[in-house]
A and B are shown apart, each in its own frame.
Chain A
């Protein structure tokens, strides 16, 4: 199975060109207009950023093993947590699912040959690279210590680090999000295959659509904010610094007006992936399709109205605080609706526990905790005590890592056979999924207690009585780290030694499973015509289920 011929020997009769074999030169990659190749290049880049962010995370956890600031100097620690946040949020979480999985799958899932604007798609990759390169350059020059939130006037007047260069990197990177979001919206509106009505779209596509709305409406605001910050820092025009006539709270309003919706950029796509996983691996039509689809849109819309809940103790007016608290409670409802529908989908299904499904179920558990602790932080009288503590840190890691990263890993496993044509080791996949789940809870669970005890965020040293819980957290982080590193090994291993996956290893009805693995450059040999509803697992889907069952029967020991 190790020779090159095995690539084509899966289902297809004769070796055909797929998107990976259609050109081997560097130029054929760098100047490609193929959304799948662009997605692969994103995959490699975001993975590198994720590893860099992960290294920062391990430095943080090692430093916090002891109460004193001893592993690294405090100045270094401040840079480390800042850069952990910046890399993870702007260069990993935001592009992760949309730019990698969305890019690869959105056109295939709706039966299109490519995105509507393939050159723009390539441009957004290059913008991402330029923004990323500039940021990496700034980090190597000396880095930045403002916290990923860049609060003024510290960032404009007091910090002596590379605020401008990193800000420019984020500013540039924002255009990548905007262009990707624009591209997705145009594609979903104009490129759906015949018969692919709006309500036959996979929920992954709905989630991408909602995310794209947030991207194009929200991202310009962070661009403007960073620009104003740059103007104040260089030309000393008083915008945010009160000593020259500015208002520091204005910065917080502008920053969170983007960055709160950005939280939904970081979780909606994950919800889309999980909808796919739960439905497909229980071979059950998703329960309440319309409710899940519209709850994504509701989250996208309400997400723009709750930014002030990051500022309950910042000095904004008490009445503003009450209104934001109320709206925060409202925005919890659509997430609850999704959770109930996912659980109901399992009812009377035929549930298999392949690696992607383990991630899907893990997401439900972790996002449940992430969402419920969001209520703690939305209850304004309680959050006065909790805000700026480790409770917040734990909460947003449960949402962003427990949500988006877990979903991303689930999605990568789920579509890996499609993207590469190879099957990874199911055994190691399951081990790693379970390590990630256990390690994650051990890392961030104790931080809820630390937060209630009052341990503030961004502390290089802390009171001694908090050490035990911090040791738990660091121990958990090492388990989590191992769990996260394992996929790198067995997925890369599968590229060379993995078994050919076949076009449809799980016999699923989505359009992506009706083309070859890996797909040809034009995605489908002839344009698909959709005659079935979304998540149709029976014979109406036109799949040869009986044949597939007969194929697996002789070797039933799955």
Chain B
């Protein structure tokens, strides 16, 4: 026996080491997150914590040094064309001021329409700017490491974006750094909407690092060039942020009734330097500044239809400041509802809910009167991406409006930006309801 162990010492040692590693691997795969022995509170392996923590200061020094020299050179180079650039920027400012007037009118209209819907939305209230300090270094995993961690308020599953579009979500958080899973990793996924056709799907990464939507039926028509935005249904990414552009749409022969829709990401995922982590999303109940006081449909019905029970004055107050009736009447066909707010009951709560689906946790205000009476945030932005898409989701026939960018309340310089602060980074949310198609006709996810 002793001879056996001596003779096969090396293979036995190999098998022992492999056995230990396989068992350790199996433990990680089988055990649910957060219940791992030797793991931190967030469910991260200690070896991962140690390695990343040990490397992070060195990475930061290298990144900072390199950036110092690069920026020094760029500053010098930029001065050379400053005068010409200044003139161009002044022209641009003048043009944007005119554009702003038009957008303000659109935003006011959107707010009025949202008030009619008691539309609740989520918008970005805090972001943390972070620098990318490391990459996974392998094609099998698309992961980046940023220089902000739990000390800066980063938590797992927070959305990470750039001014161009979404980047990914926070996966593991350490004290001084965090790891971000990019959207083109094959373990990633995000709820999206095709902007023109309003088709909903889930965009996933492939092993080759491409973005694909695989859950749209092949009888739908998807054209290359169509813009893809987040739907908000995944409760990670805010609604209306740019994801990418369709570059190809072909039938999936292996998965027959579906299409393979390839997406080119807007954010350059191979050259990320700075990103924004969305650390806080705030609820916002829109109210029109100059619009009419909203009137509940039940109240209108109670005035016009004798069969509708009288309003109970002790009932909880509803958003319009009018007590809710004891019974909720549902308008039937032929109910003489004319215009304006009277159209509201014609839209079922399901419809209203589906329109609010993309607002990340938006709740039906009809079911939560206390929330609906919450005062709106002070200094809220003129229009957020969610509001932009929310504006598109109006019950009446929406006018086809030209594609336009709306400035969201995001600043890469601010770690605690409040709504209304001047944004310096502008993700690309757009408000583009399909021409001749009501934007609220979003199709259900498949």
Partners in one complex: no
